[in-house]
């Protein structure tokens, strides 16, 4: 077994998207090989409707899959195929844009005006770029949760973990998407298959992710819940941790525990031609998509 080294730790960056939604972007619109097959990750949350109510009006997607996970509030959605629905707290939507779709997502918040969710973009391989679009909407109650003896909780959103399988059927990238809480003072190791690219995103509490590339001597001693534990470079709210190769990720929870997403997938290692919400393999394919958007042939008829 080998611990994955921490390649990079960075804060998500405040960004404005859609018609004026305030969010934090952990990565996106940069080197697509960094976290291949994943292209973009946004954390959208706010305590005031003015932060998010303008939403994400009609816009196109082609060549990718979008994964929306709602923690708080609701998101109403609709598309050019006639699908409509509402995602509530704990729900997830996996949308395969494939050959092309127009859709909109409108956050509504909860009774207190609070909203919190995440959106991840996963690339599609060239063989599936023009596949038929489809949705998978999953209720939070259908997402399996495992509670370990030490109080660690893992929601298996996508993929298989600790003998449980998530309800979403991913068609590419063999993804694994886990929502993890580790209690204060607990040190925990999670296995990830070596062929996957992996990252963590911390959104509650704090903790230190072990790094095999650095000697133990750089760790600082800190008392947590009456015990001396090693804490280094505490990663807290809205922090992205990008891992290198290996088959384990180890985290030491801080004083309030730590909650984070642990996401991994098989890299596609294909060329990327990218313009906004359209991701293809070549510039010619990208030009074709933009031309079809202009002339009204972007949406392909169902076979």
One pLDDT digit (tens) per residue for the chain, 303 residues:
799 999 999 999 999 999 999 999 999 998 999 999 999 999 999 999 999 999 999 999 999 999 999 999 999 998 888 888 899 999 999 999 999 999 999 999 899 999 999 999 999 999 999 999 988 889 999 999 999 999 999 999 999 999 999 988 766 778 899 999 999 999 999 999 999 999 999 999 999 998 644 433 233 344 444 444 443 456 789 999 999 999 999 999 999 999 999 999 999 999 999 999 999 999 999 999 999 999 999 988 765
Phi/psi for 287 (5° steps) reads -65, -40
What are 120-166's pLDDT values in tens digits? 999 999 999 999 998 888 999 999 999 999 999 999 999 999 999 99
With b meaning 16 or more CB within 10 Å and e meaning fewer, what string describes 114-140?
bbbbbbbbbbbbeebbebebbebbbeb
pLDDT at 170: 66
What is the pLDDT, as a whole number, of residue 168? 85
Tell me the pLDDT tens digit for each residue of 12-31.
999 999 999 999 999 999 89
Give bridge partners of residue 216 from the DSSP assignment: none
Query: Could you tell me whether strands 64-72 and 115-123 are parallel, antiparallel, or unpaired per DSSP bridges?
Result: antiparallel
**Residues near 185 by beta carbon (within 8 Å), at least 6 away in sequence:** 224, 225, 227, 229, 253, 255
Q: Are 23 and 15 in contact (CB under 8 A)?
A: yes
For the segment(s) 6-265, the CATH number from 1.10.10.10, 2.60.120.10, 3.60.15.10, 1.10.3720.10 is 2.60.120.10
Residue 288: the pLDDT is: 97
Candidates 159, 191, 206; CA nearest to 178 is 159
Count Cα neighbours of 106 within 13 Å in the Cβ-side half-sphere: 12
Task: Give, in degrees to the nearest 5, the angle at Cα 36 between 33 and 38.
Answer: 125
Do 65 and 94 meet the contact criterion of CB atoms below 8 Å apart? yes
Residue 190 CA neighbour count, 13 Å, CB half: 30
Domain ranges of the chain: 6-265
User: In terms of Cα–Cα distance, which of 189, 198, 262, 187 is closest to 232?
Assistant: 187
């Amino acid at each position: 077994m080998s611990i994955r080294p921490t390649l990079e730790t960075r804060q998500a960056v405040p960004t404005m998207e859609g018609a004026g939604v305030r969010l934090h972007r952990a990565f996106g619109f940069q080197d697509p090989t960094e976290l291949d097959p994943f292209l973009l990750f946004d954390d959208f949350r706010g305590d005031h409707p003015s932060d998010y109510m303008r939403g994400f009006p009609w816009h196109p997607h082609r060549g990718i899959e979008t994964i929306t996970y709602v923690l708080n509030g609701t998101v109403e959605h609709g598309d050019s195929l006639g699908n409509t629905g509402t995602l509530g707290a704990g729900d997830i939507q996996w949308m395969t844009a494939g050959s092309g779709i127009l859709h909109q997502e409108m956050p509504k918040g909860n009774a207190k005006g609070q909203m919190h969710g995440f959106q991840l973009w996963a690339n599609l391989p060239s063989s599936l770029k023009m596949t038929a679009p489809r949705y998978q909407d999953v209720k939070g109650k259908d997402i399996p949760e495992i509670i370990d003896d030490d109080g660690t909780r893992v929601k298996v959103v996508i993929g298989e973990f600790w003998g449980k399988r998530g309800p979403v059927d991913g068609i590419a990238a063999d993804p694994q998407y886990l929502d993890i809480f580790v209690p204060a003072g607990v040190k925990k190791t999670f296995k990830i298959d070596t062929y996957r690219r992996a990252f963590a995103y911390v959104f509650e509490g704090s903790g230190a992710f072990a790094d095999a590339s650095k000697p133990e001597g750089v760790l600082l001693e800190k008392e947590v819940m009456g015990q001396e534990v090693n804490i280094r470079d505490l990663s807290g709210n809205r922090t992205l941790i990008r891992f290198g190769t290996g088959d384990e990720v180890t985290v030491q929870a801080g004083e309030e525990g730590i909650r984070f997403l642990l996401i991994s997938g098989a890299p596609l290692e294909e060329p990327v031609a990218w313009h906004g919400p359209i991701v293809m393999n070549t510039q010619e394919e990208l030009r074709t998509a933009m031309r079809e958007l202009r002339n009204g042939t972007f949406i392909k008829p169902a076979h």
